[in-house]
A and B are shown apart, each in its own frame.
Chain A
Amino acid sequence: METADLAAPGRVRRLALTVGVPLLVLVVPLVMLALYGERLPDKAYIGRDGIYPQYADDWGTWGRSRAFAVVFQEAIYLTVFWYNWRWTEMQRFLTVLSIVTSVWASVTDLVDISSLVDATGPVTGPGWAIPVEVAVTAAAGVLGWWAAGPSPTPPQARSAPPPGVPVLALTSGTRAVFTAGSWSRPALAWGAAFLTLAVGLSFLEAERGHGVVLFGVIGISAILAARTLLRVDGKGVELTLPLVGGLRRALVPFRAIWFADVRPAGANPGLYGKSWGFGHVAGPGPVLVLYLTDGRMLVYSTRDAAAGAALVNGILGRERQGTGGC
């Protein structure tokens, strides 16, 4: 089913910010080297290399490793952005994440390189460096959130589910709840990959912890979010994360659902995480698919997908015929 692309307004701006701001991580050191290159020591005593000066690289090698990190970061941001092409909230999150991490790294470089001007060896950074880095980064995050633009308001669905989808016959007094739990293999795999990356980066001499922290946090978050519980009841469709204390990941009210359907076993590979959908697909089994009014789909692996879809459609049909809620 083709639905409106609500993420289109502001998408180009969010994409430009997400992939443009990380270039600061390259531009700031280049500008500093151009301005003060003659007055800097031979080696880049930056971050960890300032603590262990015997491992410090020359400025050329340090710059190349920094460029590699930026290219890698850009590739990740582009991939995730493309996967969430129609999800405004995720794009806004990515924009802020990109700005925060890039500004943080750039300000750190700015302070570190400034400290090395006219120095002959490693120097201790000024005491005000960390508070300034935190303040500038926080301000950049707030500005980034504002610059990413507002989230669109999805239309409200009012029509009954179309013919041909499973529907549970509900009388006006029937109450029902559907629950399912799932481990997402893709989320586990992404989590493991990011953790591996974080561990790998921690061995890089030029890496000062930004990448390790970023990828470590992403990896742990992905693993904790791999286990989900789905519940359909009178309030709507709720996804929670039991490994994060039952944190609610999403609550989709019925007014935001056109209808529900089932994709049979084997029909869903590649569906997870694409721009037109979100949810949890655990493997090649059947999935419950909710067609949302914001143009995306919520997909969820469950053996009993047909019962879940039937309940959602039953509630939608009952509500939209004016016979009350579940």
Chain B
Amino acid sequence: MLITIDPSSAVPLADQVAASVRAAVARGAAVPGDHLPSARTVAAALGVNLHTVLRGYQQLRDEGLVELRRGRTAVISQTADATRTSLASAAEDYARTARHLGVSPEEALAAVRAAFTSP
């Protein structure tokens, strides 16, 4: 599993960790039952605080993408769906772009609907 972070980005580090895991699930690199690297390993390798990584993993747990087990082991949950995760990941990127452009949620959604109806 590939986890990347950019400390100079405005996106919180925990969100970046979570996004990396989502991306791995979305491209089929991580499947239900796979273990995530231990938070300690990731924190040491990336040079970030352990709790930052754990916050990222907790986000994924709240989304139902991973199960946190005893001993801080994180496992991709059986209900993780690559298609839905991929869609959610793309939607997040789109929403971030829309916010960056100063577009309202309604306008952004209207653009999506228009994209679906265009030939």
Contact = CB atoms under 8 A, between A and B. Distances in A.
Contact of B6 (A174, A179, A181): A174
Interface string A208-238: 0000000000000000000000010110000
Interface in A142-195: 168, 170-171, 173-181
A140 interface: no
A89 interface: no
A175 B46 contact: yes
A233 B1 CA distance: 12
Interface in B1-30: 1-8, 24, 27-30
A205 interface: no
Contacts, number: 63
B35 A175 contact: no
Contacts of A303: 28-29, 31
A180 B30 CA distance: 10
B42 A177 contact: yes
Interface in B44-84: 45-48
Interface residues of B, number: 22
B1 A304 contact: yes
A178 B1 contact: yes
A173 B46 CA distance: 11
Contact of A304 (B2, B4, B7, B47): B2
B105 interface: no
Report which residue of A177, A179, A233, A303 has the largest number of chain B beta carbons within 10 angstroms of its beta carbon: A177
Contacts of B28: 303
A238 to B, nearest CB: 10
Given A231-B45, A233-B45, A234-B45, A179 B4 contact: no
A282 interface: no
Interface of B: 1-8, 24, 27-31, 35, 37, 41-42, 45-48
6 contacts: A171-B8, A173-B7, A179-B37, A233-B45, A233-B46, A304-B2
